[in-house]
Amino acid sequence: MSEVVNAGENPAKGMNVAGFVLSLVAFLLGGWLMGTLYISAGKWLAALVLLLPIAAIVISARGMKESKAAGHKAGLAVAGLVIGIVATVWLLFAFIGLNAVESLAGSDQFQEALDQLKEYENTHQQ
């Protein structure tokens, strides 16, 4: 696999960096942002946080394509693409988990289980 590297500047360098940074922000802060928005503003606004890693994937893929077309390496774009995909899966699971917790918290069975746990705790305290 021979890769030709031009001596000139990579035309997609800014796009590669932007995709990488956006994917990193989505991965590191996405869960916190989604949880905060879910609690304070509602689930559909929290779902918009999923757009961060999706945008990172799109930007990184375009940057990788343009870098390869210009004969440059696309390492940062590949890293942004991988982190963006991982962040998307992570945030999707976080959103599903938040929905599950919300639906459990409002159910009668959950309240009964909490009451039984409190009763058990009160009778077995030392």
DSSP state of 39: H
- Residue 3 confidence (pLDDT): 53
Q: Per-residue pLDDT tens for 33-42?
A: 988 888 888 8
Distance, CA of 71 to CA of 115 (rounded, Å): 65
Closest CA to 32 of 90, 79, 85, 72: 90
Task: Break the chain into its structural domains and give their ranges.
Answer: 13-123
- Residue 2 confidence (pLDDT): 47
Q: Per-residue pLDDT tens for 58-111?
A: 999 999 999 898 888 889 999 999 999 999 999 999 999 888 888 877 777 767
State the residue for tokens 């890769």.
3
Distance, CA of 72 to CA of 91 (rounded, Å): 32
Query: Could you tell me which residue, 62 or 113, shows the higher pLDDT?
Result: 62
pTM of the model: 0.76
- The predicted model gives 21-28 an average pLDDT of 94
Distance, CA of 57 to CA of 108 (rounded, Å): 41
Q: Is the pLDDT of residue 125 over 80?
A: no
Distance, CA of 69 to CA of 12 (rounded, Å): 10
